[in-house]
Amino acid sequence: MTIKALGYAAQHSFSRLKPMEFEREEAGAHEVQIDVLYCGVCHSDVHQAENDWANTVYPCVPGHEVVGRVAAVGAGVTLHKVGDLVGVGCMIDSCRSCEPCHAHEEQYCEGPNSWLATYNGPMVPAAKAPDGRNMYGRDNTYGGYSNVVVVKEDFVLKIPASLPIEAAAPILCAGVTTFSPMKHWGVKAGDKIGVLGFGGLGEMALKIARALGAEVTMFTTTEEKIAEATKLGAKGVLESDTEALKSLARTFDFILSTVPEKHKADPFIPTLKRNGTFVAVGELGPMPGYNNQEVIMHRRSLAGSLIGSIAETQEILDFCAKHQIAPDVEVIPIQDINKAYKKVKSGDVRFRYVIDMASLKQEMAEA
Amino acid sequence: MTIKALGYAAQHSFSRLKPMEFEREEAGAHEVQIDVLYCGVCHSDVHQAENDWANTVYPCVPGHEVVGRVAAVGAGVTLHKVGDLVGVGCMIDSCRSCEPCHAHEEQYCEGPNSWLATYNGPMVPAAKAPDGRNMYGRDNTYGGYSNVVVVKEDFVLKIPASLPIEAAAPILCAGVTTFSPMKHWGVKAGDKIGVLGFGGLGEMALKIARALGAEVTMFTTTEEKIAEATKLGAKGVLESDTEALKSLARTFDFILSTVPEKHKADPFIPTLKRNGTFVAVGELGPMPGYNNQEVIMHRRSLAGSLIGSIAETQEILDFCAKHQIAPDVEVIPIQDINKAYKKVKSGDVRFRYVIDMASLKQEMAEA
């Protein structure tokens, strides 16, 4: 059995997102049907819709920062009930049998199709899978820019009641993507942390690191953003200020780069302490060369990290609720999505667009 | 008071090494005077003599893999006595007051002049020190290509009696440089380890990793070296064999690159497991760009590591004695040093030249 759904989709890499009707499978025994209330707009939505990674399956319905209310549950569901406020992040399933899955790190799933992304199907499509199969039986999942999603219950997160609903959405990707590496590399109270890039991820990184008790320096590109950093309790430094960078030699325990494009680590490596790590989470393509002398001399590392596990996503939702931190969002109707994409591309958004899915009703009335 | 010494020195970046008479300070209260028996020839000796790092002070007497016998001790020396077989590695002193020194990681000394190198003076010369001073009072130390060295007692290592004397020399640099990162990143029995570069460091890495119980794959450039790897109990793979590399996806817990020049990590990054680390210890200059997608997708790291601490040097000497492993060396008279340098540069040495310092007597007779 299927249910009717309505979403916004890109039909081609060059086309604007437009309304699209489609069908979803009804919730199975261990699945939850969720009425979408809000969905965050992630920079990667733009990359995916425009096929920047050359792996987009069309039509493409983006959206992996989904907050909604449970509308129906399968017969075997025990974790959620109708009416619960819940969230869905980047993943909706994984192979459940590989070593990372057993270690509760589904985001590194090594199954033949890796994890099942909330939109754009499994991370490894059949054509690239070792045996040419697709264990999920789905080529192209449709994401949260829609009125309804159906998700396996153990990939559904609980949204704490004390979080503003619309602000909870970006925690599901931007929040956990910055929290997971901080947790993995052991960021703790008293540590000195550098953050590169002051967009949706950078803002969450700042707030989470501060709540962990760390001292945060934001590296950014404008005086305006430095003022913004100061307001949020961080120190701001212009990336281009070589004197300031020099004075920060061997300062940071950890640097998180959220920059979503090719960028040099070299100016920042000398600001790491001995054993310090520079983790780039934003750029999924080539990084430029670097001076290994600065890496060797203080046993530094360059690393990467991918979103975060389901357990870490719940942890950071609860952490944000406890510490009363949430991303700064601008709520938009879905009809403004193409305008919003332009601003995301130019870096003009401060800090995260979140779609109010009630705006879809207008399309439904028209349909 | 000073003592007369004889060594081999480069007077300029372009000149061959030739005999040079010079003076050393007599052993102070906590110092040991050592008659040099053997000295290893490290690839970095060639780089330093030829000013490849643009920091060489001339005349340059190389040599930081020194094995000898204690000839005299200062009044306060308690760790060594006359007649002891001892070793001196890359360092002969450090600031003793920074955090890394307190943590017994003198190789990462953050004192104003960093550590005092066995040759070519302190790592940070006065001209580059924050206050323009040189805490060691020495601009240019002279290394082990000489008949005698004088070293602070706590930077002098004990050579276990069961090690072949001449083969102990390379353990002091090549051995500890490969052992230290294996220890730091927790290489253990059952791990799968990749090693890049099959020279002096690569051979030690292979032997130490095997003795630790790891399974070793050597990436190398010739069929001949693959046969060599097999003989030593490792698997050999041609760096250029893309099919073999593909079949090794997500195989290694740890990769150690000993390649002493700019080289791509990209072909090897996909062969690392989740959380695996690629550590480059050989190249002290620029490394090329890399694909961050492969780094992010399995939370991999690129790192560097510098020689090893004094404690780790003693540990690896004792470990090699216990496991009866030693580098494969070719003993040469010092008169052959310039020929040897040519072979080191062309990669023709298998695996480590060690100078028999008895050959210096010929020069002394002539002097």
Nearest C-alpha in A relative to B249: A110
Burial of A346 (0-12, 13-18, 19+ CB in 10 A): exposed
Cis bond before residue B22 (omega within 30° of 0): no
**Any A CB within 8 A of B104 CB:** no
Per residue in B307-349, pLDDT tens?
Answer: 999 999 999 999 999 999 999 999 999 999 999 999 998 877 7
Based on the domain organization, do A158 and A234 belong to the same domain? no
Residues B140 and B19 in one domain: yes
**From the list A105, A292, A305, which residue is nearest B285 (CB)?**
A292
Report d(CA A285, CA A317) in Å as an integer: 29
Does any domain span residue A310? no
Q: Please say which residue of A261, A289, A304 terminates a domain.
A: A304
Chain A environment of B178 (Cβ under 8 Å): none
How far, CA to CA in Å, does A172 sit from each of A108, A158, A311? 17, 11, 11
Q: Which residue in chain B has the smallest CA separation from A249? A: B110
Q: Which of A287, A299, A300 sits opposite B292 (nearest CB)?
A: A287
H or E, element range at B15: none
Instruction: Print the SS3 string covering chain A.
Output: CEEEEEEEEECCCCCCCEEEEEEEECCCCCEEEEEEEEEECCHHHHHHHCCCCCCCCCCECCCCCEEEEEEEECCCCCCCCCCCEEEECCEEECCCCCHHHHCCCHHHCCCCCCCEECCCCECCCHHHCCCCCCCCCCCCCCCCCECEEEEEHHHCEECCCCCCHHHHHHHHCHHHHHHHHHHHCCCCCCCEEEEECCCHHHHHHHHHHHHCCCEEEEEECCHHHHHHHHHCCCEEEECCCHHHHHHCCCCEEEEEECCCCCCCCCCCHHHEEEEEEEEECCCCCEECCEEHHHHHHCCCEEEECCCCCHHHHHHHHHHHHHHCCCCCEEEEEHHHHHHHHHHHHHCCCCCEEEEEHHHHHHHHHHC
Amino acid letter, B158: K
Angle formed at CA B203 by CA B199 and CA B209, multiple of 5 degrees: 145
Asked if residue B338 is part of any domain, the answer here is: yes
State the Cα angle at A68 between A67 and A71, rounded to 5°.
Answer: 155
State the helix-helix crossing angle for B200-211 and B310-323, rounded to 10 degrees.
70
Q: How near does any CA of chain B get to the CA of A81, in Å?
A: 34
Contact A299 B280 (CB under 8 A): no
Q: What's the half-sphere exposure (Cβ side, CA atoms, 13 Å) at B348?
A: 7
Do A297 and B108 make contact, defined as CB atoms within 8 angstroms? Answer: yes
> Do A333 and A278 belong together in one domain?
no
Q: Which of B184, B286, B301 sits opposite A302 (nearest CB)?
A: B301
Cβ atoms of A359 and A340 within 8 Å: the answer is no
A286:B292 CB<8 A: yes
Q: How far is B198 from chain A (nearest CA, A)?
A: 20
Name which of B110, B299, B305 is nearest A306 (Cβ-Cβ).
B299
Residues of B in contact with A306 (CB under 8 A): 296-297, 299
pLDDT at A362: 81
In this predicted structure, what is the pLDDT of residue B132?
93
Closest chain B C-alpha to A235 CA, distance in angstroms: 25
Determine whether the interchain pair A283/B306 forms a contact, defined as Cβ–Cβ distance below 8 Å. no
CATH number, domain of B248, equals 3.40.50.720
Which chain B residues touch A99 with a CB distance below 8 Å? 274
Are residues A136 and A186 located together in one domain of the fold? no
Write out chain B residues lying below 8 Å of A280, CB-based. 292, 295-296
Task: Work out whether strand B31-40 and strand B148-152 pair parallel, antiparallel, or are unpaired.
Answer: antiparallel
ipTM of the complex in this document: 0.95
CA pair distance B309, B104, nearest whole angstrom: 7
Does any domain span residue B316? no
A316 within a domain of the structure (yes/no): no
Q: What does the longest C-alpha to C-alpha distance in chain A come to?
A: 65
| Helix H or strand E segment including B174 | helix B174-184
Chain B interface includes A247 (CB < 8 A): no
Which two structure tokens, joined as six digits, stand for A70? 């449970």
Residue-range definition of the domain harbouring residue A165: 2-173+328-366
What pLDDT does residue B361 have? 87
Q: Return the closest-CA partner of residue A93 out of A78, A69, A113.
A: A113
DSSP classification of residue B170: G
pLDDT per residue rounded down to tens, chain A (367 residues): 899 999 999 999 999 999 999 999 999 999 999 999 999 999 999 999 999 989 999 999 999 999 999 999 999 999 999 999 999 999 999 999 999 999 999 999 999 999 999 999 999 999 999 889 999 999 999 999 999 999 999 999 999 999 999 999 999 999 999 999 999 999 999 999 999 999 889 999 999 999 999 999 999 999 999 999 999 999 999 999 999 999 999 999 999 999 989 999 999 999 999 999 999 999 999 999 999 999 999 999 999 999 999 999 999 999 999 999 999 999 999 999 999 999 998 877 777 899 999 999 887 766 5
CATH of the domain at B62: 3.90.180.10
Cβ–Cβ of A305/B299 closer than 8 Å?
yes
Q: Which residue of chain B comes nearest to A264, CA vs CA? A: B289
Is A281 in the same domain as A344?
A: no
The residue among B102, B256, B302 with the most chain A CBs within 10 A of its CB, best to mutate, is B302
The reply to whether residue A303 touches residue B292, judged by beta carbons under 8 angstroms, is: no
Q: Which one of B104, B108, B301 makes the best mutation probe of the A interface by having the most chain A beta carbons within 10 Å?
A: B301
Chain A environment of B110 (Cβ under 8 Å) = 250, 274
Query: Quick one: pLDDT at residue B367?
Result: 57
Taken as a whole, chain A contains a residue count of: 367
Same domain, yes or no, for A163 and A183?
Answer: no
> B75 and B219: one domain?
no
What letters, b where the CB count within 10 A reaches 16 and e where it falls short, cover B290-302?
bbbbbbbbbbbbb
The one-letter code for the residue type at B140 is N
**Beta carbons of B284 and A296 less than 8 Å apart:** yes
B312 domain residue, yes or no: no
CA distance A64 to A88: 7
Using the 3D structure, point to which of B255, B288, B304 is the last residue of a domain: B304
Residue B334 bridge partners (DSSP)? none
- Which of A313, A358, A317, A35 is closest to A168 using CA atoms? A317
- B31: distance to nearest CA of chain A, Å? 27
Q: How far is CA A299 from CA A296, A302, B102, B180, B309, in A?
A: 5, 10, 17, 11, 13
Complete DSSP assignment for B86-155? EEE-SEEE--SSSHHHHTT-GGG--STT--EESSSSBSS-GGGSTTS--TTS-S----SSBSEEEEEGGG
User: Are A75 and A219 within one domain?
Assistant: no
Residues in A closer than 8 angstroms to B274, CB to CB, are 99-100, 105, 108, 110
Is A305 an interface residue toward B (CB < 8 Å)? yes
* Residues from chain A contacting residue B104 (CB–CB below 8 Å): none
Distance from CA of B109 to the nearest CA of A (A): 9
Residues A86 and A158 both lie in one domain: yes
* CA atoms of B283 and A292, how far apart (whole Å): 7
Residues A269 and A166 in one domain: no
B83 touching A, CB under 8 A?
no
| Residue B310 belongs to some domain of the structure | no
B299 contacts in chain A (CB < 8 Å): 108, 184, 303-306
From A304, A337, A355, the end of a domain falls on: A304
The tokens of A234 are what?
Answer: 């961080």
Residue type at A331 in one-letter notation: V
The C-alpha atoms of residue B93 and residue B200 are separated, in whole angstroms, by 25
Q: With a cut of 50, which residues of chain B have pLDDT below it?
A: none
Q: Please judge whether A292 and B303 are an interchain contact, meaning their C-beta atoms are less than 8 angstroms apart.
A: no
> Are residues A288 and A167 both part of a single domain?
no
- Start-to-end CA distance of chain A, whole Å, equals 22
* Contact across the interface for A296 and B274, Cβ inside 8 Å: no
Residue with tokens 């997608």: B293
Residues A246 and A102 in one domain: no
Domain count, chain A: 2
From residue B264, give the alpha-carbon distance in Å to each of B158, B160, B197, B306: 38, 38, 12, 19
User: Distance (Å, rounded) from C-alpha A315 to C-alpha A319?
Assistant: 6
Helix, strand, coil % (nearest 5) of chain B? 30, 30, 40
Does B288 contact A293 at a Cβ distance shorter than 8 Å? no
Q: How many CA atoms lie within 13 A of B157 on its CB side?
A: 31
Chain B touched by A37 (CB under 8 Å): no
Q: Is residue B68 part of a domain?
A: yes
Q: Per the domain annotation, does A314 fall within a domain?
A: no
Quickly tell me which residue has 């008895």 as its tokens. Answer: B358
User: In the structure encoding, which two tokens stand for residue A132, read together?
Assistant: 């040419």
pLDDT at position B351 is: 75
Six-digit token string for B94 = 């450090």
Burial class (CB in 10 A: 0-12, 13-18, 19+), B161: exposed
Q: Which helix (H) or strand (E) holds B13?
A: none
| CA gyration radius, chain A | 20
Helix-helix angle B200-211:B174-184, to 10 degrees:
50
Q: Which of B110, B284, B299 sits opposite A292 (nearest CB)?
A: B284
Q: Compute the distance between CA of residue B119 and CA of residue B48 in angstroms, rounded to an integer.
A: 9
- Is the Cβ of B280 closer than 8 Å to some Cβ of chain A? yes
Q: Tell me the nearest-neighbour CA distance from A182 into chain B, angstroms.
A: 13
- For the record, the structure tokens of A259 come out as 């920059």
